[in-house]
Amino acid sequence: MLNFILRRLATIPISILIVTAVTFFILRLTGDPVELYLDITRTPEQEALLRQELGLDQPLIVQYLQFLADIVRLDFGRSLQFQAPAIDIVVQRLGATFQLIGAALVIALVVGLVGGLVSARYKDRTADMVISSLAVAGQSMPSFWLGILLVQLFALNLGWLPTSGTGGWQHLVLPSVTLAAFIAPNLVLITRTSVLEITDELYVTTARSKGLPRLRILLRHILPNALNPIISFFGLQVGRLVGGSVVTETIFAWPGIGRLMIGAIYQRDVPVVVASVIIVALAIIIANLLVDLILSVVDPRIRLD
């Protein structure tokens, strides 16, 4: 186990290297940084001076290595909008995003597992038809649109919940439900399929022959065996949740890293963009590592070493 964790941790720099390379070269392709720092009244002399200061007169590969060296020291430069170190600004916003994604994960997990289990238990009956249809509809509906509908209904018409911003738990409800809607419908369908597949296994017949009640068979013998594809799906969806959080944070003016990133891109605040991309990439990699660890705990046949 420890061996596996160490090996996986060792691959993180490689993944980060790839992310940094892509980020660096795309940034360079989108325009000359000097134009961002100097306004229209600039003189060629000022330009040349700045180029020298920023190291932009060096060959591209040297610039990239310098860029890497800065990242290793977690020095992403100063934000152009906020006049503060970019990394500090990103870290400040992380909490809000974790809160949102965490709440969305819990909602998606509860809805997905309960919906999938009920649907599988009552296969081809009314409950299954209703749940499956809702899941397919949810899958087909753009989640940002759902978010806007939720605001219309619960915030504007009924006035139960705030439209946007932060504060108490009431502020978290609509954004986290919207974000959960990015993955919950898929989760319902995957849980249903996986549970139905396991139901046909011989050891489930063994459990029935032992005279156990249906609920116990479902929760103790079927569900733990059905979890593998469900957890793997989660690992694959972490990136989607982060992407979804960008949209959701924008709709609900949630002060997280997603909204920060969008703002930084509009403002061409390169240090903040780079810092957020790297931090998000790191979070996704760690989340996937956690998924592998959870899988090995749930299924003793999976040996990590």
Partner 1 sequence: MADPRPLLEVRDLSVSFRSGGRDLRAVEGIDFSLGAGEVMGLVGESGSGKSATAMALLRLLPDAATIGGQILFEGEDLAQVPEKRLNEIRGRDIAMIFQEPMSSLNPVMSIGAQIMEPMRFHLGLSARDARLRAIELLERVRIPAAERRLKNYPHELSGGLRQRVMIAMALSCKPKLLLADEPTTALDVTVQAQILDLLYELKEETGLSIIIITHDLGVVANFADNVAVMYCGRIAETGPVSAFFDRPGHPYTKALIESIPDDDTSGRLATIPGTVPKLTELPPGCRFAPRCAHSRPACSDILADLYQLEPDHRAACIMPFDYRIPDQ
Q: Which residues bind partner 1 (CB under 8 A)?
A: 201-203, 205-213, 216, 220-221, 224-225, 298-301
Task: Between 45 and 200, name the residue whose CB sits nearer to partner 1.
Answer: 200
Q: Report in angstroms how near the CB of residue 231 gets to partner 1 at its nearest.
A: 12
The values of phi and psi at residue 85, to 5°, are -55, 130
Task: Between 42 and 125, name the residue whose CB sits nearer to partner 1.
Answer: 125
Can you say whether the dihedral through the CA atoms of 191, 197, 198, 200 is positive or negative? Answer: positive
Task: Between 101 and 218, name the residue whose CB sits nearer to partner 1.
Answer: 218
Helix, strand, coil % in the chain, rounded to nearest 5: 75, 0, 20
Which of 33, 195, 44, 35 has the alpha carbon at shortest distance from 115?
A: 195
Contact by Cβ (8 Å): 34, 49: no
Task: Between 91 and 298, name the residue whose CB sits nearer to partner 1.
Answer: 298
Task: Between 25 and 203, name the residue whose CB sits nearer to partner 1.
Answer: 203
Q: Report in angstroms how near the CB of residue 207 gets to partner 1 at its nearest.
A: 7
Q: Report in angstroms how near the CB of residue 8 gets to partner 1 at its nearest.
A: 23
Contact by Cβ (8 Å): 235, 183: no
Contact by Cβ (8 Å): 251, 147: yes
Contact by Cβ (8 Å): 260, 81: no
Q: Report in angstroms how near the CB of residue 211 gets to partner 1 at its nearest.
A: 3
Q: Report in angstroms how near the CB of residue 289 gets to partner 1 at its nearest.
A: 21
Q: Report in angstroms how near the CB of residue 234 gets to partner 1 at its nearest.
A: 18
Contact by Cβ (8 Å): 305, 3: yes
Contact by Cβ (8 Å): 81, 264: yes
Task: Between 10 and 202, name the residue whose CB sits nearer to partner 1.
Answer: 202
Q: What is the 3-state secondary structure (H, E, C) of 16-73?
A: HHHHHHHHHHHHHHCCCHHHHHCCCCCCHHHHHHHHHHHCCCCCHHHHHHHHHHHHHC
Contact by Cβ (8 Å): 46, 38: yes
Task: Between 102 and 224, name the residue whose CB sits nearer to partner 1.
Answer: 224
Q: Report in angstroms how near the CB of residue 220 gets to partner 1 at its nearest.
A: 7
Angle among Cα 224, 227, 231 to the nearest 5 degrees reads 145
